[in-house]
Amino acid sequence: MENIKNIIITGGSGLVGSAFQKIKNKYENINFIFLDSKKADLTDYKKSKNVFKSYEPCCVIHLAAYVGGLFKNINNNVEMYEKNMIINLNVLKICHELNIHKVICCLSTCVFPNNITYPINETQLHLGSPHNSNIGYSYAKRMLEIHCSLYNNQYNRKYICIIPTNIYGEHDNFSISDGHVIPALIHKCFLSKKNNKDFVVFGTGKPLRQFIYSLDLARLIMLILKNYEDTHPIILSTNENDEVSIKYISEKIHKIMNNKNKIVFDESFSDGQYKKTVDNSKLKELFKDFKFTDINIGLTNTIMWFKKNYPNNIRI
């Protein structure tokens, strides 16, 4: 990484940005600049460009997004689309105008079509409409991939889109209403034990998901930055046989927290998309020796961090 010096990370105080803060000391010759909404409002083009320019980055890892769990997406599809479109447009336009040649942009597996053959691979990105529960967010992320491709083709940039599966870890948003599935379940299980009430999980618990620990994702992004010379998207995920149900995850959290109260699945709530099984063969071919964190260890670390920081130093 001898040619990589200053790297801007947008979303620097978020889930994956915080993971980068944990591993940054392993890269002694790199200066990581962590931007959050206080340092740079990415919906403001002029102010953001001035901030980027002041740091003279050689690369940008674009993690910032307006995000939320299933029910936030269902209820706010317009806002999810518009805010993410503005943020992504500004970041890529600024990077191009400042002649930043390499940018890593973070998508999500929700961008893939709802009606599709499994396992999903990178070539299927635009082969149909995404699930209608998060259609605003999904299409904004798809447009980010299109935007990157246009810059790559017209200006010979290396604006690369990574597609991680469901991310979890410390420093997540643990909001019960707006958080993603694992942090929301951790918070609900914690309150269940604290208040001696049932641990209520929304939906049937049947949907299947692959999960990736935030520290693993940060490590993989650095490998991509250094070694990936292609400009096509790449899926960053655990293996197909690591896919588990929401019921399985709920029971794991319940056990790790030593919660003796009953688990109840409230089937009056939507399950969202049943499965998003992805094929990580492209990733495995590139990085054969990469070891993912066992989900039991990742969940334990996340729960311990939540309990240590609840309620004052945590996003809920």
Positions marked active-site: 137
DSSP string, 179-243: S-HHHHHHHHHHHHHHHT--EEEES-S--EE-EEEHHHHHHHHHHHHHH----S-EEE---GGG-
The Cβ of residue 260 has, within 10 Å, a number of other Cβ atoms equal to: 10
- Count of alpha carbons within 13 angstroms of residue 40, beta-carbon side: 29
Distance CA 39, CA 73 (A): 26
Element (H, E) at 6: strand 6-10
Task: Cite the DSSP H helix spans in 26-128.
Answer: 45-55, 70-75, 77-97
